[in-house]
């Protein structure tokens, strides 16, 4: 009987369940709005409803890709800022729905692994992958191995404070995430121009910038400069083969990344060389799919 892996890609906006065979050929994908404000129990009910549409007896393992902080071994999420569920054990709850091995990984780490094996980081031993979705996290691969740090929180770069003042996100004012993530750029627009961008989204801001709106362009240029500051820190500390940008890194108008590269050239020790190895994700829209599936497949094959 044909066997399948199930990936669950949990984002602040959407969640997807992806079914693939043992060669990672995707056969079915189901999506729903995450709606974090409706609570964790409501989220689990949506998982159950969608999961019941699959042939569960053919699934051999489940991989969950979700933003942290978290305890990978126990499956505990420690109030991820883009979800605000408090401390919850996602593995315990999904184990009630399906009796197969279930594995969890920080979405940035899972994304780094996927880009390392299948995407823009293929063949490169040292890479950093930035999620750049609703939140901002990093997956770090050193000498072809995922780097977690002593307590497993390595890569929580969105928490870095770039300014003493700024939008409030990730538990503080002026965090890197508050200036450069999907949620952060929208907050930054409202922070700079409260009358022009009340309750805006980064998608709407991007559209306005593409249509020549000067204030929207100004927000993206300023955000791009902060992106460059953060990237410069990573380049000078870790000296990677490449930094790979997910999601809004390839969706936003080019002015954003252009500004970031200018700062990287000015700030980093390697200047232009650093700017040249800023890459956009090759997996793009499918990165969440393959990230979660690889969490299921790689851990299952290792017998973890």
Domain harbouring 278, CATH code: 3.30.420.40
* E-state strands within 121-275: 127-130, 138-142, 145-146, 168-169, 172-173, 242-245
Residues 132 and 276 in one domain: yes
Residues 64 and 105: their CA atoms lie apart, in Å, by: 6
127 to 49, 84, 106, 116, 258: CA distances (angstroms): 37, 29, 16, 8, 21
Residues 272 and 199 in one domain: yes
Report pLDDT for 68. Answer: 83
Residues 171 and 265 in one domain: yes
Identify the burial level of 199 via C-beta atoms within 10 angstroms of its C-beta, where 0-12 means exposed, 13-18 middle and 19 or more buried: exposed
Residues 182 and 82 in one domain: no
Half-sphere exposure of residue 179: CA atoms within 13 angstroms, side-chain side: 27
The predicted-structure confidence for 197-210, as pLDDT tens digits, reads as follows 999 999 999 999 99
Per-residue pLDDT of the chain (304 residues; tens, 9 = 90+): 789 999 999 998 899 999 999 999 999 999 999 999 999 999 999 999 999 999 999 999 999 999 888 999 999 999 988 898 999 999 999 999 999 999 999 999 999 999 999 999 999 999 999 999 988 999 999 999 999 998 888 999 999 999 999 999 988 999 999 999 999 999 999 999 999 999 999 999 999 999 999 999 999 999 999 999 999 999 999 999 999 999 999 999 999 999 999 999 999 999 999 999 999 999 999 999 999 999 999 999 987 6
Which bin fits 44, alpha (ψ -120 to 50), beta or left (φ > 0)?
Answer: alpha
Residues 192 and 222 in one domain: yes
Q: Which two tokens stand for residue 23?
A: 């060669």
Residues 14 and 101 in one domain: yes
Report pLDDT for 47. Answer: 97
Residues 41 and 25: their CA atoms lie apart, in Å, by: 31
Q: Which two tokens stand for residue 197?
A: 């961008």
Containing domain of residue 131, as a range? 120-282
Residues 235 and 293 in one domain: no
Computed from CA positions of residues 107, 109, 115, 121, in that sequence, does the dihedral angle turn out positive or negative? Answer: positive
Number of domains, the chain: 2
Beta bridge partners of 145: 142
135: CB partners within 8 A, 6+ apart: 12, 67, 80, 81, 82, 158, 170, 177, 181, 182, 183
Q: Which two tokens stand for residue 204?
A: 């709407």
Report pLDDT for 222. Answer: 98
Residue 115 lies in a domain: no
Task: Judge whether 176 and 163 are in contact, CB under 8 Å.
Answer: no
Half-sphere exposure of residue 177: CA atoms within 13 angstroms, side-chain side: 24
Residues 178 and 278 in one domain: yes
The predicted-structure confidence for 138-174, as pLDDT tens digits, reads as follows 999 999 999 999 888 899 999 999 999 999 998 899 9
Residue 32 lies in a domain: yes
Q: How many CB atoms lie within 10 A of CB 229?
A: 19
Supply the pTM of this predicted model: 0.90
* E-state strands within the chain: 4-10, 14-21, 26-33, 59-66, 70-71, 76-78, 87-89, 102-106, 127-130, 138-142, 145-146, 168-169, 172-173, 242-245, 278-280
């Amino acid at each position: 009987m044909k066997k399948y892996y199930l990936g669950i890609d949990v984002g602040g906006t959407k969640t997807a369940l992806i079914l693939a065979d043992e060669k990672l050929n995707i056969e079915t994908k189901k999506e729903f709005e995450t709606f974090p404000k409706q609570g964790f129990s409501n989220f689990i009910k949506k998982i159950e409803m969608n999961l019941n549409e699959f042939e569960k007896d053919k699934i051999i393992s489940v991989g969950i890709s979700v933003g942290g902080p978290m305890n990978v071994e126990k499956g505990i999420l420690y109030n991820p800022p883009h979800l605000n569920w408090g401390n919850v054990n996602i593995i315990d709850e999904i184990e009630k729905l399906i009796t197969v091995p279930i594995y969890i990984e920080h979405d940035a780490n899972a994304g780094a692994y996927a880009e390392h094996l299948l995407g823009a980081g293929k063949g490169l031993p040292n890479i950093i992958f930035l999620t750049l979705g609703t939140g901002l996290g990093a997956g770090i691969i050193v000498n072809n191995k995922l780097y977690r740090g002593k307590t497993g929180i390595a890569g929580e770069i969105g928490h870095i404070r770039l300014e003493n003042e700024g939008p409030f996100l990730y538990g503080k004012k002026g965090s890197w995430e508050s200036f450069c993530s999907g949620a952060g750029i929208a907050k930054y627009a409202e922070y700079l121009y409260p009358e022009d961008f009340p309750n805006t989204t980064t998608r709407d801001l991007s559209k306005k910038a593409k249509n020549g709106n000067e204030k929207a362009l100004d927000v993206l240029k300023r955000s791009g400069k902060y992106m460059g500051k953060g990237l410069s820190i990573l380049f000078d500390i870790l000296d990677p083969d490449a930094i790979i940008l997910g999601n809004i890194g390839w969706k936003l108008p080019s002015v954003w990344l252009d500004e970031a590269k200018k700062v990287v050239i000015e700030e980093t020790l390697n200047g232009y060389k650093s700017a040249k190895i800023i890459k956009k994700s090759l997996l793009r829209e499918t990165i969440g799919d393959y990230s979660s599936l690889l969490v299921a497949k790689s851990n299952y094959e290792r017998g973890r």
